Amino acid sequence: MESTPFLKLGTKSQMGTLQFFNNLWQLLEPFSISIYLLLFLLLLLNIFLSKRNKSCGSKPKLPPSPPKLPLIGNLHQLGEHLHRSLRSLSDKYGPLMLLNLGQIPTLIVSSPEMVGEIVNTHDVVFSSRPKTTASDILFYGHKNVLFAPYGEFWRQARKICVLELLSLKKVQSFQFVREEEVEILVNSLREVCLGGNNSIDLSKMLISASNNAMSRCILGHSYKEEDGSIKRLGELSHQMSKQLAAICVGDFFPSLRFIDVLRGFVGRLRSTFRAFDAFNDRVIEEHKEARKFHGGPSETEDFVDVLLRLQHDPMLGFELTHDHLKAILQDMLAAGNDTSSAAAVWLMAELVRNPRVMKKAQEELRRIVGEKSKVETDGIHQMEYLRCVVKETLRLHPPAPLLSPRETTASVQIGGYEIPAKTRVLINAWAIQRDPRSWDKPEEFIPERFEKNSVNFNGQDFHFCPFGIGRRRCPGMAFGLVNIEYLIANLLYSFDWELPGDCGPPEDLDMSEISGLSVRKKVPLHVLPVARFYLP
């Protein structure tokens, strides 16, 4: 799924100027007064050069922009939840809005009409990625797919992912993994039920089950426990997610990148990278040894096996180095683990919060499955209401609300405005999918809106784009959807779900957010599972 490592500032949805400068002061506090003076002088120099360059030519017609402050531009107008504060600004300044985030011009797109114009007429120009400090360090200099700039390497690498790693045939080949991991989860929940009226942290259990399934598909096994030299994979992935979303001074003030070194941020990134790099080397070496032992890949290839096979394929068309292989694996782990588990938690939270919808989904499931011990894959295709529930969850809670940042490769006209080359672009899918012009009662959870409705994930319904649009649309869509649907179907079939007595009415369930590589539910979902029946 597309992901948004961009910015996290402040503690309220709309920070004031004083709060921004307070946060900035805390960020720079460890430095001496000489560093402050140097910073100030460099910024003044950049402003002078920028103004001199602008005065040399005619002024283009740019999209509307909120008033900005010297040096920091519009950074002070952004809150903790970027997608929410950007919607508030777009409501005032329009569906195309140009912000100056430090020294970085950033276009905010907040309407399906503007998204359609981008995809249908200028998709290539809008298909590159900006280079950020975190993505450069953590992904081997952008040798992955998610953060790679638009070009020949990205086209070839994405082709590998689509044809070899994420094809429908490959998705189906891992059904046994999904079945085994879901069975483990269901059995754990049954033990809880047998132990009495105990609430559980369902968020933790869903994240663990999703991570284990993804790890087995990608790496061959779940890596639940590691030795003392390597952290658990889930913990390491969570750390990387937070770092990709953290503020980086150099990403907004390129001439001040040294500050990120001085404050230790770059050092922390490199520490995470080294841990992941050692883990990746270990996994690849294990697979190479297994291939030697078996005289080739195993009968069921995981993603590492596929990449090792392709690495020596003379027909591949480009060099797939050791670093490329590790970066692509890291891509799959980061995007797949974070977004799939976040979506599963949001879905169950919405069902617990809306008992009517849960009951209707369970009635459909139990009618189709009958008295079998579990939901089978073939039955999923008949569960139309469950599909509507999944769509409505992704409409209200797209795992990456701003998709992934893009960057224009040339000057282009959109909506009658000139968009300069090297402009960063954020598409606010969260705002688009809650636009009252496209959706009736957009803030309410109503899966019925998708019944007998052709709106789908294909990237052509621009008012519904949780997996992105155009060339950079998420190639792992089918993989993620199958995982979520099968997991949730079995949980709804085998259990009824209630909130603990001290949680208040369902409609008051805390649905606050926390940002990382994807947007997760901030408060863990504590629920009471009630088993429908017990198997011997």
Q: Which residue has the higher pLDDT, 333 or 146?
A: 146
Mind giving me the DSSP string for 274-338?
Answer: HHHHHHHHHHHHHHHHHHHHHTS--SS--HHHHHHHHHT-TTS-S---HHHHHHHHHHHHHHHHH
Residues in the chain: 536
- Residue 468 placed within a domain: yes
Does 4 fall in a domain?
Answer: no
pLDDT band at 438 (very low <50, low <70, confident <90, very high): very high
Is residue 517 very low, low, confident or very high in pLDDT (cuts 50, 70, 90)?
Answer: confident
For residue 481, tell me if it sits in a domain.
yes
Q: State the average pLDDT for the chain.
A: 86
SS3 28: helix
Task: HSE, CB side, 13 Å, CA atoms: give it for residue 17.
Answer: 8
Residue 162, domain member (yes or no): yes
The pLDDT tens digits for 282-319 are 999 999 998 887 776 666 788 999 999 988 888 887 88
Say yes or no to pLDDT of 390 above 60.
yes
> DSSP label at 262?
H
Q: What is the pLDDT of residue 359?
A: 97
Which pLDDT belongs to residue 529? 94
Binding residues for heme are 474
pLDDT over threshold 90, residue 458: no
More confidently predicted of 534 and 112: 112
Over range 121-129, report the average pLDDT.
96
Task: Give the integer Cα–Cα distance in Å for 109 and 96.
Answer: 5
The torsion defined by the Cα of 88, 90, 93 and 94, in degrees rounded to 10, comes to -150
Nearest to 497 by CA among 321, 365, 337, 404: 365
Domain annotation covers residue 404? yes
Range of the domain at 189: 17-531
CA–CA gap between residue 515 and residue 52 (Å, rounded): 38
pLDDT > 70 fraction of the chain, expressed in percent and rounded:
86
Between these two residues, 364 and 316, which has the higher pLDDT value?
Answer: 364
Please answer whether residues 2 and 403 qualify as being in contact, where contact means their C-beta atoms are separated by less than 8 angstroms: yes
Q: How does pLDDT run across 162-186, given as a tens digit for each residue? A: 888 888 888 888 999 999 999 999 9
Residue 473 has pLDDT above 70, yes or no: yes
> Which pLDDT does position 18 carry in this prediction?
52
Instruction: Using the predicted structure, report yes or no on whether residue 131 has a pLDDT greater than 70.
Output: yes
- Angle at which helix 233-245 crosses helix 265-294, to 10 degrees, equals 140
Is 117:46 a contact under the CB 8 Å cutoff?
Answer: no
**Are 243 and 4 within 8 A, CB to CB?**
no
3-state helix, strand, coil in the chain (%, to 5): 55, 10, 40
Inform me whether the pLDDT recorded for 223 exceeds 70: no
**What gap in Å lies between CA 463 and CA 113, rounded to an integer?**
8
pLDDT in tens, 33-54: 445 555 566 666 666 655 555 5
Spatial distance between the Cα atoms of 420 and 73, rounded to a whole number of angstroms:
17
Q: How far is CA 266 from CA 36, 175, 236, in A?
A: 19, 40, 17
User: Is residue 2, in this structure, part of any structural domain at all?
Assistant: no
Q: What is the pLDDT of residues 82-113, one digit of tens each?
A: 999 999 999 999 999 999 999 999 999 999 99
For residue 199, give the CATH number of its domain: 1.10.630.10
Question: What is the torsion angle, in degrees rounded to the nearest 10, for the CA atoms of residue 54, residue 57, residue 61 and residue 67?
Answer: 20
DSSP state of 482: H
pLDDT at 23: 56
- Tell me how many domains the chain contains: 1
Most confident of 125-134, 310-319, 517-526: 125-134
Q: In sequence order, which ranges of 404-533 are alpha helices (DSSP H)? A: 429-432, 477-494
Q: Which of 148-152, 309-313, 342-346, 402-406 bottoms out in mean pLDDT, i.e. has the lowest?
A: 309-313
pLDDT at 6 over 50: no
**Is the Cα torsion angle 168, 170, 176, 180 positive or negative in sign?**
negative
Backbone angles phi, psi at 26, to 5 degrees: -65, -35
Interatomic CA distance for residues 36 and 477, integer angstroms: 46
In a domain, 8, yes or no: no
Q: What is the mean pLDDT of residues 415-437?
A: 96
CA–CA gap between residue 260 and residue 39 (Å, rounded): 13
Least confident of 12-16, 210-214, 333-337, 511-515: 12-16
Amino acid occupying residue 348: M
Residues annotated within the binding site are 474
Q: What is the pLDDT of residue 260?
A: 94
DSSP letter string over 127-165? Answer: -B----HHHHHHTTTT-SSSSPPSSHHHHHHHHHIIIII
Average pLDDT of the segment spanning 2-12: 43
Q: Is 10 a member of any domain?
A: no
